[in-house]
Structure 1
Amino acid sequence: MFDIDTNSDARSRALFRRSALFAAVLATTAGSVSAEEDSRLIEEVLVSASKRTETLQDTAIAITVIPGDVLEQTHAVDLFDMQSLVPSFRARPSSRAGAAIMTIRGFTSASAAGSESSIGMFVDGVYRPRSQSQVMDLPRLERIEVLAGPQSTLFGKNASAGVISLVTKAPTQEFDAKIEATVGNYDHRQVKAYVSGGVSDTVALSLSGSSYTRDGYTKSLTGLQDLNDKDRWNLRGQALWQPTDDISIRVVADYGEIDEVCCSASAVEVGVTGAIIESLGGQTLDPERAFDYESYLNHDQLNKIDDGGISIHADFAFDGFVLTSITAYRENNVEGDGDIDYTSVDIGRGLTYQNSEMFTQELRLTSTGDSRLQWMAGAYYFREDIELGGITEYGVDLRDYMFTLSRGALGALEAITGYAPGTFFAPGLEVESASKLENEAYSFFGTADFDITDKLTASAGINYTKDEKEVTVGQVKNEDVFSALDLGEVLGGAFAPFAPFQFRPPQLGLPNSVESNETSDDDTTWMVRLAYSVNDNISIYGRAATGFKASSWDLGGSNPLRADADAIAAAGLETPNQQYGARFSDPESSLVYEFGLKAFYDNFFVTLAVFDQQIEDFQTRGFDGVRFISTNAGEVEVKGVEFDLNYVPTESWLFRFAGTYLDPEYVDYQNAPPSFGDTTPIDRSGTTPGGIAEWSLVGSATYNFSVGANANGFVRADYVYEEETEINDSFPGVMRELGTFNASAGIDFSNGFSASLWGRNLNEDEYFHTAFAGVAQPGTVNSWPSQPRTYGVTLAYRFQ
């Protein structure tokens, strides 16, 4: 890792000024260079972020493009690998596969079932809210476009913090087929294949698939399965029908499965409960061995996902415009069984399921031709139905654990309340919940670009979104009689300190006669922009834009608002030991001011964006070791700079240096969840949010070479750095810092064969992704550790 004094604001500001000045000088001092088309060493990059195919230079949007060949060279296999390619993007694991938590410019998108994402993910124009983990397995990925900031006027699904758009290759009339196999450490086995070609003059088909298995790198010390393995496969079939030059219809069907054990935890701190676990003959995670990748779980885990869908993308060209229709249906089913405490004693387990069905329809009109006015207008419909639930099952060691923790006081409480000995925390007790969500939304959106002069273009966009949600929340069964006690009433509240051990109190379900189980939100968002071409090489733009995210429901252990307590009591709805909290988070709205510069020359290009992005009523979600807590932060603001410099001094060399500087602040957050170990909400207004590094940098060097007349090769190295920062708000003092080195090398032969070597985290960089309270273990802090060094070799053959 870099040795940087993170306490020196002056040094950080100086580094920032030097980096920004360096990019600006390169962009302006080369203004006299003549860029002859045949002398360009940097290929033109095409993007479709604006719903038109444009060059990256002409797209006045803060966007990072990752070509498919770069993904292949770096052997990026999931969203976490994208962090070494896009400095403004971060991803971290959750308690299961398929639930990656994404961040763009410091704004994190929640992964809960009742919450839509602040960061929209699209694959070939189709919104993907539930299948983030599978998208990187696509064998014919053409490019990934990462758009920062709200994009409501371009995408029907309102993305308040950004968009990740994956574009795959359509079927081709020309025959094209490839098969590749990869082997690596941890018994890495991966096979990808595709075939594409025309079956008539107007119809082309393609079929692709992949299979990926790898042993877990976290070893079980209790004789169970290893964790953090890979076991997934997918198939994708496409048909492209082009009966005339004016009609194109593309049908895509895909299906994939994941059956993996994810994710292993490590300990950052162990509270007093660690000694109790050891006294019961158990073992707990050791903070001194956080990166030894060891597991003490007491039963095997289950994490299964199946995901599939079909989409129809149709384009009809008319005189002056194109009509586009994208129709999609998807299903996503998740099943899990987890050891919730990460120790070898049997405290409990959690069994979960989540099934969702989604239908989307987008209609869009896009102007064509060379007129001064270009426009796009669209309508979007979204429908998703989710069923989810779970069972918390108390383990055989929970009673002894809780009685030791309470120093026997719970036994006295059984006698005082008249329960038979052995009632509280009896082995096998179950609490079962079941919930449903019906989400229906529609929007109308559009943009217009007007060329005021040959160099100056004014743009404006608008989006109206209506979002309606209806939920059903309830407990099917609750056998935890201890959690049903009102401890404040027993012996004058003498047992109130044991309230935190009431893990699953009875829950008042929805709908009921007092609370509404519906939300109906709508908002109009907009964008205005001016773009100016300084010359053939340099363009600048300035824009202001807004975004919107509808209400998010807590579909787990949610409880009514305290303000509804009197009405609930009057209606006779109070459950034993009635709890209060929050059912949902209010809508959030975003606003960004942004200035950008793009300079493209023969042998280098640089993009630069300076921004001030704010989100009001920012939706947040925390975990206190027993239950999740949903809140709204009044206002979060992130000011920053993004830059991306690519330099090609010769045909053989490509250098890239990109980075993000972020200056975040909770402008208003008066009722924030308490820090770890406290119980009283606090005012975080004016403080710096945790988990957002001030500096994030990526650098890479690629050397291309020829071996005779029949082979071309490459050698590539990249480094990702993230400045040390507190890992999140709840755990002050728990730090995170990245400094990861990756490398690869390969050779392609003219006969179709190719081979490559790759390695990720070759320097064995160790860092924590996040931190969370240990389940039912006061004082214990757990985390997800970084992945260890992985490496392998890939062999491929492309049929000719």
Structure 2
Amino acid sequence: MKKLLLASAALAGLTTPLHAQDAPPAADDAAQFESPRANSEIIVTARRRQETAQEVPLAISVVGANQIESTGNFNILKLQQLAPTLQVYSSNPRNTSVNIRGLGVPFGLTSDGFEQGVGIYVDDVYNSRVAAAVFDFLDVNQVEVLRGPQGTLYGKNTTAGAINITTNQPTFDFEGRAEVTAGNLEFKQAKAAVSGPLSDKVAVRVAGGVTSRRGTLYNVTTGQYINEQDNLGVRGTLLFKPSDDLKITLSGDYSKQDPLGYGTTFVRVGRTQRALSRQYDALVAAANAAGRNYQVPSRNPYDRLTDLDSSLNAGNKIGGVSLKAVWDAGIGTFTSITAWRFWDWKPENDRDFTGLSVVAKSQNPSQQDQYSQEFRYNYEGEKIDFVVGLFGFKQRIDTQGTESQGIDASRWSLTGAQANDPSILDGLTATNTQYLKSTSAAAFGQLAWKVTDALTIQPGVRLNYDKKSGFYERVVTNGAGQVISCTPAPAAGTALAAQCGVYQPQSTSPSVSKWNFSYDLNVNYKFAPGILGYATYAKSFKTVGINQNGLPLTAANVPDLSASTVKPESVHHFEVGLKTQFWDRRATFNISAFRTDIKNFQATVNGGQFGTVRGYLANAGKVRSQGVETDFRINPSERFLAYVSGAYTDAKYKKFDNAPCPPELSGGTLQPAGATPDYSQPGVPGALSPRQCDISGQRLPGVSRWSASFGAEANIPVALLANEGQAYIGTDGNYRSHWNSNASPSVYTEVKGYIVTNFRAGFRTERFDVFGWVRNAFDKKYIDLLQVAPGNVGLIAGTLGDQRTWGATVKAKF
């Protein structure tokens, strides 16, 4: 199928392709800030048909193309600034988490062995890995963020929601647009799109864009700025419309990111239960006493300095081809979407987060191929609407990992005389080979029964089959290049025992399959024109997972095979909402309340060590997320628009009594097996550490209890250089209350709340738009992500939010 799709794209003359769907007409979205109009409607395709957002009985946020561009949110990573209940965290493209209402994927290192709970769709094509969807938004029409379980309408089942991205489609009238932006930090961005007919039945659209920006951290070791932006994207779409009833779209895309990054900066040190002489400050002092002369460049993270000594790279290539056919048969609409996508990830990281050579090399390049096929039939009638569909998905991911210890590793990880012998660990290398094969098939459907003009009952069902099989092998060699074996267990106190305590050879071949049945029921009622109430119950699931990054060890020092697979999540979701429009549709107010209970929540477990296991999945007993969301928009005239969206989210572990302990309760000699865990000495060096911790009742990581986004724009008519247009000024921003950045909440990984405010001002006509902008105008100092350094030494490193940036943008249409 891949060869057929590629050949078709080549024959179409698309040298730089991407995928597409029948996009709805450009939405008259007042929130897009393009000549705001009162009484405007937002058209969405959330239920696989075109309708206004206010008619859809579910919680949905819609972000138009102009709002994306004017607020500088040019990829998924920035979307949380516009959707309060969306959480996006990224230490690099692969380790990116996208959650809605605190749910979606486990917080921490990413494993290929589980499914994401937030589905990312671009023109109906499912992107199986978040890393494969971090491309720049290019020629996008709008983005819909659907909150709550999806699956009876969408190809892949998702338990937390979906991000539905639609791009602009080929037109039979010639049109083009171009955009150029320049700003501080050497920021440069250019985008262009051209569309038009090749004949009366064939139209084509081609778009491209480049983005570059200097890094936001200065590495004193290399004399370079890191965490830069260096992105390239191209897309081509060919539309064949042989009749008014049939549309065939061939699309392809290619995206490349090749920045120098990603690295962290020193944030703080917190005491753990490791012996005081083996914690961060003492280890640095000991290294210096031995002639190392090391000092972190700054203990103030907002000096934006780092000293990472390992190679850094974040090469990310994404692309694919899709073929979509839509046939209006009169008695309904048939849709077929065939797609192939690839992802090629080439990273290099500094996993010890310091300028010392503890981990000298860390890289886990991956290659993914995914194929998907979806068939849908839509019917709309006087009393009944329905959608039925079939979905098939196949994926393979191959990863080749290498991690090596450096000259400072012995002092960092060993004790006694061994700590002073760098040759024990220097050059110790773990070479990992792994693959994942994943297959999924589903039948789904949703019915809308219009009982009366006001009342609609909407049930949906899904039958799903998933199969996963994997392979993981770790081969360990010492500094002389000799393969080591840790079976039988080496004698305590030997160099081999020390090496096996850091990297232990391992080989596993997990495999599992599972059928799941899920369903939902929505009842909605139109109380009056412009007033819609709804209630939803959904029984959903996240499919079974496997551990792909190695397994934890048993007391006998062998891999714990019982941890090879992870149970499916069982999800019960309840939601009620009210959507209202009033003042002749000049004002919109929507409110929803939700509760989601998850049994066997798939969580990331990490023991804090370097390489015994990087992190693996386990089931938390129960998780609950509940809260209230509101959206308010007022658009009294073409001269003014304002909006504010807010959310209260209470997301907790209801039962997780075998969780990994936070750093302040880690690093010491383990308490006796079977003993009641003692949590009374957090951060006390030399204290006994619990083997596991009960974090029931604590909040989920990454979730702010309170969050909001806001914006406003005003304009006046102006004639400038004989051009009639509008002068305008606008603002937007977002707020987040404090949250925790560790899977097991820690006092050392608490992130303070913040408000970021942006401004822009410019002049626009029907043909061009020129504006200047300032983002993070008040230069708020805030943190995007905190990470706990391995080894239980107490070091906390972080990724900072952007400082104040400014620039100007010129957009033109022709």
Structure-1-length-normalised TM-score = 0.86
Question: Quick one: which of 359, 362, 365 aligns to 2:371?
Answer: 359
The answer as to whether partners of 1:501 and 1:776 remain within 8 angstroms in 2 is no
Residue of 273, 283, 303 corresponding to 1:276:
283
Contact 1:75 1:758 in 2 (8 A): no
CA drift of 1:727 comes to 3.4
Amino acid at match of 2:704: A
Question: Residue 31 of structure 2 corresponds to which residue in structure 1?
Answer: none
Q: Which residue of 2 aligns with 1:93?
A: 90
Q: 1:560 to 1:54 in 2, by over 3 A?
A: farther
Is the contact between residue 111 and residue 616 of structure 2 (CA under 8 Å) also seen in structure 1? no
Task: Please give the alpha-carbon distance, in whole angstroms, between the structure 1 residues aligned to 2:173 and 2:232.
Answer: 27
User: Which AA in structure 2 matches 1:640?
Assistant: G
Write the mapping of 1:283-302 to structure 2, written as runs, cut at 5 A.
283=294, 285=296, 288-302=299-313
Change (3 A) 1:767 1:284: farther
Specify the alignment match of 2:727 in structure 1. Answer: 713
Counterpart of 2:20?
A: none
Paired residue for 2:686? none
C-alpha deviation, 1:81, in angstroms = 2.2
Separation in 1, partners of 2:234, 2:297: 41
Query: 2:627 corresponds to which residue?
Result: 640
- Matched AA of 2:761: A
Who is 2:447 aligned against?
A: 448
Query: In structure 2, what is the Cα distance between the partners aligned to 1:485 and 1:332?
Result: 35
State how far apart, in whole Å, the 2-side matches of 1:132 and 1:425 are: 33
What amino acid is the match of 1:169? N
Tell me, yes or no, if structure 1 residue 628 matches structure 2 residue 615.
yes
When residues 55 and 701 of structure 1 are mapped into structure 2, their CA distance, relative to the original with a 3 A threshold, is same
Which of 566, 579, 603 aligns to 1:585? It is: 566
Q: Which residue of 1 aligns with 2:587?
A: 604
Alignment of 1:191-590 (within 5 A): 191-270=190-269, 272-277=279-284, 279=288, 280-281=291-292, 283=294, 285=296, 288-347=299-358, 348-368=360-380, 370-399=381-410, 401-402=412-413, 406-409=415-418, 423-426=423-426, 428-479=427-478, 490=491, 502-507=501-506, 509-511=507-509, 517-559=510-552, 577-580=557-560, 582-590=563-571
SS at 1:71 equivalent: helix
Whichever residue aligns with residue 604 of structure 2, its letter is R
Partners of 2:220 and 2:422 lie apart in 1 by: 31
Specify the code of the residue in structure 1 equivalent to 2:705: E
List per-residue Cα deviations over 1:402-426 (Å, max 9, x = no partner).
Answer: 5xx6242457xxxxxxxxx775113
Q: How many Å apart are 1:561 and its aligned residue? A: 6.8
Q: Distance in 2 between matches of 1:473 and 1:227?
A: 32
Counterpart residue identity of residue 580, structure 1: D
The residue that corresponds to 2:800 in the other structure is 785
Secondary structure, counterpart of 2:528 in structure 1: coil
Query: Offset at 1:248?
Result: 0.5
Tell me which residue corresponds to 2:739. Answer: 725
Q: Residues 252 and 310 of structure 1 are in contact (CA less than 8 Å); yes or no, is this contact kept in structure 2? A: yes
- Distance in 2 between the 1:284 and 1:162 partners? 45
Q: Which amino acid aligns with 1:78?
A: N
Kept in 2: contact 1:666–1:688 (CA 8 A): yes
Deviations 1:275-310 (A, max 9, x none): 433515354547741122111011431111111100
Distance 1:779 1:699, change over 3 A: same
Alpha-carbon separation, structure 2, partners of 1:345 and 1:101: 29
Q: CA shift at 1:495, angstroms?
A: 8.9
2:733 aligned counterpart, secondary structure: strand
Partners in 2 of 1:422 and 1:784 — Cα distance? Answer: 30
Hey, what's the Cα distance between the residues in 1 that align with 2:781 and 2:128?
Answer: 30
Instruction: Name 1:46's counterpart in structure 2.
Output: 43
Asked if 1 retains the 8 angstrom alpha-carbon contact of 2:98 and 2:105, the reply is: yes
Alignment-derived partner of residue 798 in structure 1: 813
1:663 to 624, 634, 650: 650
> Unpaired runs of 5+ in structure 1?
1-38, 412-420, 512-516, 566-576
How many residues of Structure 1 are paired with residues of Structure 2 in the alignment? Answer: 725
Structure 2 residue corresponding to 1:744, chosen from 760, 766, 776: 760
AA paired with 1:97? P
| 1:78 maps to 2:78 | no
Distance 1:340 1:725, change over 3 A: closer
Shift of 1:760: 1.8
Report the Cα distance in structure 1 between the residues aligned to 2:652 and 2:405, rounded to whole angstroms: 41
CA deviation vs aligned residue, 1:557-606 (integer Å, no higher than 9, x gap): 324777xx7xxxxxxxxxxx534373332211212111010001321001
- CA separation of 1:666 and 1:777: change in aligned 2, threshold 3 A: closer
1:735 aligns with 750
The code of the aligned residue for 1:584 comes to: T
8 Å CA contact 2:209, 2:232 repeated in 1: yes
Post-superposition CA distance 1:152-188 (Å, at most 9, x none): 1111200011101101111111111112111111101
Distance 2:303 2:446 in 1: 53
Closer, same or farther in 2 for the Cα pair 1:684/1:400, shift >3 Å? closer
User: Residues 706, 502 of structure 1: CA spacing in aligned structure 2 closer, same or farther, 3 A cutoff?
Assistant: farther
Q: Report the Cα distance in structure 1 between the residues aligned to 2:132 and 2:188, rounded to whole angstroms.
A: 18
CA positional deviation for 1:747:
1.9
Cα distance in 2 for partners of 1:380, 1:276 equals 55
Separation of aligned partners in 2, 1:344 and 1:604: 55
Task: Provide Cα deviations, 1:26-65, integer angstroms capped at 9, x if missing partner.
Answer: xxxxxxxxxxxxx971411011011111111111111111
Q: Contact between 1:205 and 1:237, CA under 8 Å: does it hold in 2?
A: yes
Please give the secondary structure, in 2, of the residue aligned with 1:649: strand
Following the alignment from structure 2 to structure 1, what is the Cα–Cα distance between the partners of residues 588 and 215?
41
Is the contact made by 1:67 and 1:142 (CA closer than 8 Å) also made in structure 2?
yes
Cα distance in 1 for residues equivalent to 2:745 and 2:486: 29
Do the aligned residues in 1 keep the contact of 2:314 with 2:348 (CA within 8 Å)?
A: yes
Structure 1 pair 134–441 and aligned structure 2 pair: CA distance change class (3 A): closer
Please report the TM-score for the alignment, with normalisation by the length of structure 2: 0.85
Once residues 564 and 331 of structure 2 are traced to their aligned partners in structure 1, the CA distance between those partners, rounded to angstroms, is 49
